[in-house]
Amino acid sequence: MTRPLINSLGQPIGEPLPDWSPPPWPCKLPIHGRLCRLEPLSIAEHGRSLFDATGGEDSLADWTYMAYGPFAQYEDYLNWLSENCLGDDPQFFAIVAGSQGLPQGLASYLRIGPSQGSIEVGHLMFGRSLRRTTAATEAMYLMMQRAFELGYRRYEWKCDALNEPSRRAARRLGFSFEGLFRQATIYKGRNRDTAWYAIIDKDWPALRAAYEQFLTESNFDENGNQRVRLSELTRPLLRDHR
């Protein structure tokens, strides 16, 4: 950690940012990758396929750590999408992947703060066919890449501290743990301690190189098996090394 600057009164102060200016609001345009694309959410185009991928009676446990859901019936899911997912913040995308090119998951930008240069990724819900796939990793990389290319300086991930799969995913994706906010909120009638993770712009060049190495076709054999895991590339970049 670098030593802080000292002002004329002998007090430590933060790094000056004379050339920084607020980034633009993220645009509602598709993001294209090699294995997937992210499309601005359209209920007409994506709603039914998203429900088939993430809703229904078999998905009840998948919604435990979300502030909404589960959705056993399509009508309930459709109402939730209509009431909560069509605005500018959160800004939702459907993740389209697989041989049939159908929407298989949702992701969003939220708590978008251009004046602070901060943006969060969240409301993540991946269908079973998308989970633990390279396409899912690429989707997270594409959203991260857009945010930093726009000029955001902080990219956040937050989750229920008891949601260990989400916490593992954050670390694998290169988010450093920043702390635990006790009794941060209440949802579904229960307490939530929130685990905070983030990537900052100074982390991004090395992290981008790690993703590019992982996502290149040569990193996978003829059966699709990884030669180098993303976690092996991101672990040395984590500030907390957890």
Tens place of pLDDT per residue across the chain (242 aa): 678 899 999 999 999 999 999 999 999 999 999 999 999 999 999 999 999 999 998 899 999 999 999 999 999 999 999 999 999 999 999 999 987 889 999 999 999 999 999 999 999 999 999 999 999 999 999 999 999 999 999 999 999 999 999 999 999 999 999 999 999 999 999 999 999 999 999 999 999 999 999 999 999 999 889 999 999 999 999 997 55
Give the C-alpha separation, 230 to 209, whole Å.
11
Report the Cα–Cα distance between both ends of the chain, in Å, rounded: 18
Query: How far, in Å, are 82, 94, 170, 192 from residue 75 at the CA level?
Result: 10, 18, 32, 28
Residue spans per domain, the chain: 28-237
Of 112, 144, 152, 199, residue with least CA distance to 20: 152
**Is the CB of residue 214 less than 8 Å from the CB of residue 228?**
yes
**Is the CB of residue 193 less than 8 Å from the CB of residue 182?**
yes
Of 133, 130, 160, 141, residue with least CA distance to 63: 160
Q: What does the pLDDT read at residue 20? A: 93
Q: What is the CATH number of domain 28-237?
A: 3.40.630.30
Which residues, listed in sequence order, are joined to residue 195 by a DSSP beta bridge? Answer: 159, 180
On the 0-12 / 13-18 / 19+ scale of CB atoms within 10 A, 38 is buried
12 CB neighbour count, 10 Å cutoff? 9
**Which two tokens mark 190?**
């229960």
**Which two tokens mark 50?**
């998203």
Q: What does the pLDDT read at residue 50? A: 97
Q: Report CA 168 to chain centroid distance, whole Å.
A: 13
pTM of the predicted structure, to 2 decimals: 0.94
Give the C-alpha separation, 151 to 167, whole Å.
26
